[in-house]
Structures are given as C-alpha cells and as structure tokens.
Amino acid sequence: MRLQTVFFHINLLIKIYSGTTIISAHHKPEADGKFGNQTNDETMFSISIAECNMRCSLNSRCVSFFYNSLTKLCILHSNPFTYTVIPNLGTGWKLYVTRDRTGRCPDNFFFYRQLDFCYQFRPTIQAAYISCPLGKLQRIDTEEKQNYTMKITADIELVYNAAICIQGKNTGTGWKFLDGTLMTYSNWGWNQPFKNSNQLRMIRWKNYVWATTSDTVNCSYLCEYP
Ligand SMILES: *[C@@H]1O[C@H](CO)[C@@H](O)[C@H](O)[C@H]1NC(C)=O
Ligand SMILES: *[C@@H]1O[C@H](CO)[C@@H](O)[C@H](O)[C@H]1NC(C)=O
Ligand SMILES: *[C@@H]1O[C@H](CO)[C@@H](O)[C@H](O)[C@H]1NC(C)=O
C-alpha cells in the first residue's frame, strides 16, 4: 500500500471516529451515464462511493463528484452541474452533488468551501423584483469569485437566456455593495460603467463583462448566504 493511501485511510478512520459530517452527497439520476473530465479538479481511484465522497469532503474545492462503479474512477469537481452541460458519455458513471452539513448554508444552497460561498440559482425576473428570501443578491469581490461564477453558469442560457444580475449600485458616490461597502474589484466591459445605476449585470455573451443597467431589465441571478 502506498504511503498516500495509508494516510488517506487513517484520515477516513479519524473522520468516522470523530463523527464529523461536513457534506452529504446526493445522486442525480438524470446525469447517469455522463461524466466530465475536462476541467476536473482531481481524479483518482476509489474503492467505493463512500471513499470518493470522503475524498470530496477533504477537498475544499469539491462540490460534486462523478463515480464509476465499474472502473472505480472518482472525479471531483467544483461545479454542481446545474447550468452546465456534462460533456462526456460513458457506462457506469453517476453524478453526486454535495450539500453542506455543518450548518453554514441553508438547505438547498450549494457550498463552495474554497470561497466560503453558499449559493442558490434563481430564475429570470425583472431586476426590480429580485428576491433572496435567505441571504442576498450575489456580490463579486474577487477575480476568483468572478471566475467561479462563470464556470458554474457556463450553459445557463439553455434555461435562462438573460444576463446575470449581481450586487452593485452607484447613486453618485462610487460603486458600492448593498451594505454600503465600496467595491474594489470590477470587470467593466468596454465603455462601462456607462452611468450611475441601481443595477449591475454580467453579459455572458461578452465573456461576462460587467455593464450598468436599469432595474426594469430582465436577468437571472444567484443568491448568497448570509
Ligand atoms: C475524457 O474522457 C474521454 C471519454 O472517455 C476520453 O476520450 C478523454 O481522453 C478523457 N480526457 C481526459 C483529459 O482524461
Ligand atoms: C422577463 O421575464 C419574464 C419572466 O420570465 C417574462 O415573462 C418576460 O417576457 C420577460 N421580458 C422580456 C422583455 O424578456
Ligand atoms: C480567472 O480566469 C482567467 C481566465 O481563465 C485566468 O487568466 C485568471 O488567472 C483566473 N484568475 C484567478 C484568480 O483564478
């Protein structure tokens, strides 16, 4: 047995012994027979779904995993594959999407531990009616969060073909988040920000650059918690 494998099993035993449950994994039957291995974060052999799940819980970038019970391959991903097309077909593959079990996120939110980001996708609506019953509209304050949002919404236009609204407004004193904090990261498109505005959105078909808009336009969005 390789040392790495020994360490893994020790880790597994410690987890079981201490009874910590960080995440739970949920099978998505509609994705049976599909898998993604292009932009995966980590691929390995695992003797069982439980071991693959444990590997996922040990990787702060893991939000979902593909497991193949025939080949014992386990592929960890940061993407929940809600609004992205799964690229490959193959026998024996099943997709498991995780949920937080530490109490950090509400039920039905995904948890990207790497960015401490609890989020939920929401349907297209007029920006003025954006509603996050738990938490608030997504804020993007780093390039890493911008990139992650691009990744998880890569094919969202197949379901919601509108721009994606994010936090940010300028009523004359600079671009600020809803809590009044000045925004220090931005990804403005050409000739933007065009004007002071109540609403910011990411234009997917222009590589997710930011544009100002009024709150009478339609957009889809993510809510984050808290
Ligand atoms: C991904 O899987 C496909 C289909 O099995 C295979 O042809 C391809 O080589 C794999 N790519 C990588 C990067 O492993
Ligand atoms: C805005 O979204 C609503 C709800 O999805 C839809 O009924 C309406 O047609 C959309 N309006 C435009 C201009 O796309
Ligand atoms: C974000 O993505 C771009 C394009 O792929 C890449 O060049 C950049 O390094 C990424 N930034 C971070 C912080 O990951």
116 has a pLDDT exceeding 70: yes
Q: What is the mean pLDDT of residues 77-104?
A: 95
What per-residue confidence (pLDDT) applies to 13?
46
Nearest ligand 1 atom to the CA of 37 is: 1
**Ligand minimally distant from the alpha carbon of residue 123:** 2
Do 163 and 203 contact (CB within 8 A), yes or no? yes
Contact 69, 95 (CB under 8 A): no
**Any atom of ligand 1 within 6 Å of the Cβ of 88:** yes
> pLDDT tens-digit profile of 47-86?
999 999 999 999 999 999 999 999 999 999 999 999 999 9
Tokens of 208: 């997710």
| Residue found under tokens 């390039």 | 143
Nearest protein CA to atom 9 of ligand 1, as residue: 37
Q: Which ligand is nearest to the CA of 130?
A: 2
- Substitution candidate for ligand 3 out of 38, 117, 143 with most atoms within 8 A of CB: 143
For residues 209-226, average pLDDT? 94
Atom nearest to 142 CA in ligand 3: 13
Of residues 3, 69, 84, 1, the one with CA closest to residue 33: 69
* 219, HSE (Cβ side, Cα atoms, 13 Å): 29
The pLDDT score that the predictor gives to residue 40 is 67
CA of 143 to the centre of ligand 3 (A): 7
Query: 37: CA distance to ligand 1 center in Å?
Result: 6
Question: Rounded distance, CA 62 to CA 40, Å?
Answer: 10
Ligand 2 contact via 37 beta carbon (within 6 Å): no
| More confident: 26 or 16 | 26
Please choose from 34, 88, 89, 93 the residue to mutate so as to test ligand 1's pocket, defined by most ligand atoms within 8 A of CB.
88
Question: Could you report the per-residue pLDDT of 171-196, keeping only the tens digit for each?
Answer: 888 999 999 999 999 999 999 998 88
In the DSSP assignment, the letter for residue 172 is S
pLDDT tens digit string along 122-131? 999 999 999 9
Please report which ligand is nearest the Cα atom of 159. 2
Q: How far apart are the first and last CA of the chain?
A: 44
User: Using an 8 Å Cβ cutoff, are 112 and 119 in contact?
Assistant: yes
Q: What is the dihedral of CA 157, 159, 160, 161, to 10 degrees?
A: 40
Nearest to 105 by CA among 78, 134, 81, 139: 134
Tell me if 82 CB under 6 Å of ligand 1: no
Check pLDDT > 90 for residue 38: no
Mutating to test ligand 3, I would choose from 147, 185, 208 the residue with most ligand atoms within 8 A of its C-beta, which is 147
Q: What is the spatial distance between Cα 180 and Cα 45, in angstroms, rounded to a whole number?
A: 48
Instruction: Say yes or no to pLDDT of 43 above 90.
Output: yes
The mean predicted confidence, pLDDT, of the chain is 90
Per DSSP, the three-state class of 62 is coil
Q: Which residues line ligand 3 (CB under 6 A)?
A: 143-144, 147
Ligand nearest to the CA of 161: 2
Kindly state the percentage of the chain with pLDDT values over 90: 77
Crossing angle (nearest 10°) for helices 49-57 and 3-18:
80
Q: Which domains can be identified in the chain, with CATH numbers?
A: 2-100 (3.50.4.10), 114-225 (3.10.100.10)
Cα angle 209, 158, 90 (rounded to 5 degrees) comes to 110
Backbone angles phi, psi at 19, to 5 degrees: 70, 20
Nearest CA among 138, 133, 115, 120 for reference residue 199: 138
Distances from the Cα of 37 to the Cα of 73, 87, 197, angstroms: 11, 8, 41
